[in-house]
Amino acid sequence: MRKAKNNLSVLAVFLFLCPLYGQTNTPKSADQGLMRYSEFLGYVKKFHPLVRQADLAIDRAQAYLMEARGAFDPKLEADYEQKKFKGTAYYEVLNSSFKIPTWYGIEVKAAFDQADGYYLNPQATTPANGLAGLGVSIPVGQGLWINERMTVLRQAKIQQRMAVAEKKLAAANVLFDASAAYFDWLRAYQEAKIYNEYTRVATMRHLAIKRSIELGDKAAIDSTESAISLKMRGLGLEEARVKLNKARLSLSNYLWIDQVPVELSDAVSPEETLTDELVPAAQLQLEKEITTGSNPKVQLYKGKIEILEVERRFRQNQLLPGIRANYQFLANPESPAGLRAEDYKLGLTFSYPLFLRKERENTLVPPEAAGRNVRSGIPANRAPQ
């Protein structure tokens, strides 16, 4: 049973990936009384709520990606302070900047500062027209080759690929269940046809025996035996019809048009010539998935491994000391000399925790064991189903 289910699952993926015809707003085929298997799966793929719900995973991944890219958006900042007391202008300070984050943790910064006042801090003193600056801030240790915004963006891109695989997997599961319902309907339909033929033959036999009795060729007891046989065939036919109705109703659960469930008509029949086409198609798709690794569940696990690998590299980078070098050219906005090499502002910041407790814990303990989520928003305890 498990092998058969796996084969049908592969088949569902194959039919999901292949172009399906018959995807119009109302069921149509060459024969209005026939619901073809490919046409049925086309409607399931296009209109079933669970399949359409799988699109939300892609939308969610796209939202994560947009949020991650927001960390690289340019930022405009301004800080203005003024103090007056008893008629004395203590100070008036304006600090403004425009920052552009780049991929490798480097920030390009343009700044304009202006300060005036009676009790002004000498360090904040600027020319009367203000002081402009253009420079960069470079992480030398921690955050150069990988930092948090790089980690989030990489994981968001991986999650976007995982969302596509998740959609395929969810659709394949629905198509598998729908295929099982279709084949149950096909089996019930064929059983009903067989019992209908049994009943027809039993009726003809009973009538023939009654005629033979009238002609004196058979004893009257023979009609009793044929009548019992006819009654049994009739009961079998009724049971087959009940099974057919149940299978038809079960199949109708997968038929939706514009978010409205559709009930399958009694006059509609299934496609009966499927076996010769489905087995080679499923085998071909299975061989393709084995050689290319395109199975959606495999893609989900690969994506999860890639996300955790990016997380591991980021946490290892946190063990490096935090060193950031800042350099800025300075110039008077109204000075004809412009930027000069001898006018600059240079700085160096350094930080390093002495015991590295947080960093070592983050490196040694996996996200799942620590009960944390990876930065892309994927739950740590989540695994592909």
Residue 177: closest CA among 275, 253, 243, 276: 253
List, for residues 11-21, the tens digit of each pLDDT value: 343 333 333 33
Task: With a cut of 70, say whether residue 8 has pLDDT above it.
Answer: no
List, for residues 105-143, the tens digit of each pLDDT value: 899 999 999 999 888 888 888 888 889 999 999 998 888
> 29 in a domain, yes or no?
no
Task: With a cut of 80, say whether residue 376 has pLDDT above it.
Answer: no
Q: Tokens for 250?
A: 């079960």
What residue type is assigned to position 241 of the chain? Answer: R
pLDDT average, residue stretch 59-75: 90
Question: What is 63-114 written as a DSSP string?
Answer: HHHHHHHGGGS-EEEEEEEEEEETTEEEEEEEEEEEEEE-TTS-EEEEEEEE
Give the three-state DSSP class for 200.
helix
CA 314, CA 308: separation in Å to the nearest integer?
10
Query: Tell me, what's the pLDDT at 135?
Result: 92
Query: Tell me, what's the pLDDT at 275?
Result: 64
> 261 in a domain, yes or no?
no
Percentage of residues in the chain with pLDDT exceeding 70? 79
> 164 in a domain, yes or no?
no
> 319 in a domain, yes or no?
yes
Query: Tell me, what's the pLDDT at 176?
Result: 87
Q: How confident is the model at residue 72 (pLDDT cuts 50, 70, 90)?
A: very high
Per residue in 287-300, is it b (16+ CB within 10 Å) or e — as a string? eebeeeeebbbebb
- Please give the DSSP secondary-structure letter assigned to residue 23: -
Q: How confident is the model at residue 243 (pLDDT cuts 50, 70, 90)?
A: very high
pLDDT average, residue stretch 237-246: 92
Q: Which domain holds residue 103?
A: 72-148+304-339
Q: What's the pTM?
A: 0.68
Query: Tell me, what's the pLDDT at 126?
Result: 86
- Cβ burial of 263 (10 Å; 0-12, 13-18, 19+) is exposed
Residue 103: closest CA among 155, 65, 75, 138: 138
> 89 in a domain, yes or no?
yes
Question: 116 forms bridges with which residues in the sheet?
Answer: 92
Q: Tokens for 281?
A: 């198609």
> 268 in a domain, yes or no?
no
Query: Tell me, what's the pLDDT at 282?
Result: 54
- Report which secondary-structure segment, H or E, holds 251: helix 221-252
CA 192, CA 197: separation in Å to the nearest integer?
9
CA 17, CA 39: separation in Å to the nearest integer?
14
Query: Tell me, what's the pLDDT at 26?
Result: 38
Number of domains in the chain: 1
> 209 in a domain, yes or no?
no
> 107 in a domain, yes or no?
yes
